[in-house]
Amino acid sequence: MNKTDFIARFGGIFEHSPFIAERAIAAEPDLALTADSVHAAMVAAFRAASREEKLGVLRAHPDLAGRLAIAGGLTEDSKAEQASAGLDRLTVEEHGRFTALNDAYTNRFGFPFIIAVKGLGKDDILAAFEARIGNDAETEFQTALAQVEKIAGLRLAALLP
Active-site residue list: 61
- Cα separation, 48 vs 67, whole angstroms: 31
